[in-house]
Structure 1
Amino acid sequence: MLDFAVEYKAAIHRITTDLDLGLKKHNLDDEEWEIVEQLRDVLKNATTFFSRKGHVNLPIVIPAMDHLDEKLTEHALDTGRMTAAVRAAVTLGKKTLNRYYDRTDHTEVYRIAMVLHPQMKLEYFKTAKWEQDWIDTAEKMTRDEYLRSY
Structure 2
Amino acid sequence: MIRRAIILRPFIEQLVLKHRQQWEQDNRSKRTGNLRKSAREPRICLEENQLTTNDWDVLDHLAKLLGFYEDAVKTLEGDGQQRKRKGGWVGSYGNVWEVIQGFEFLLEVLEDYKQLASEIPDAEHFRININLGWEKLNKYYSRLDETPIYYTALALHPAFRWGYFENEWKD
Structure 1 residue 130, shift from structure 2 partner: 4.0
Contact conserved, 1:16 with 1:27, CA < 8 A, in 2?
A: no
**Rg: which structure is higher?**
2
Aligned to 2:164: 124
* Residue 29 to residue 126, structure 1, CA distance change in 2 (3 Å): same
Aligned to 1:66: 104
> Would you say how many aligned residue pairs link Structure 1 and Structure 2?
123
Match of 2:151 among 105, 111, 115: 111
Structure 1 residue 6, shift from structure 2 partner: 7.4
For 1:80 and 1:108, the matched residues in 2 are separated by 39
Structure 1 residue 30, shift from structure 2 partner: 3.2
For 1:16 and 1:104, the matched residues in 2 are separated by 48
- Decide which moves more: 35-44 or 47-56: 47-56
For 1:108 and 1:42, the matched residues in 2 are separated by 26
Aligned to 1:86: 126
Q: Secondary structure at the match of 1:45?
A: helix
Q: Is residue 2:69 matched to residue 1:35? A: no
Match of 2:114 among 73, 76, 88: 76
Q: Is residue 2:90 matched to residue 1:51? A: no
Q: Which runs of 5+ in 1 are unaligned?
A: 132-150
> Which TM-score applies when normalising by structure 2?
0.57
Structure 1 residue 16, shift from structure 2 partner: 9.6
Amino acid across the alignment from 1:65: F
* Residue 32 to residue 50, structure 1, CA distance change in 2 (3 Å): same
Contact conserved, 1:104 with 1:110, CA < 8 A, in 2?
A: yes
* Residue 17 to residue 36, structure 1, CA distance change in 2 (3 Å): farther
1:65-93 alpha-carbon deviations (Å, 9 max, x no partner): 11111011110232113612112112222
Q: Which runs of 5+ in 2 are unaligned?
A: 13-43, 81-92
Structure 1 residue 62, shift from structure 2 partner: 0.9
Q: Secondary structure at the match of 1:105?
A: helix
Structure 1 residue 4, shift from structure 2 partner: 7.1
Q: As a proportion of its length, which structure holds more helix?
A: 1
Question: What is the root-mean-square deviation of aligned Cα atoms in Å?
Answer: 3.3
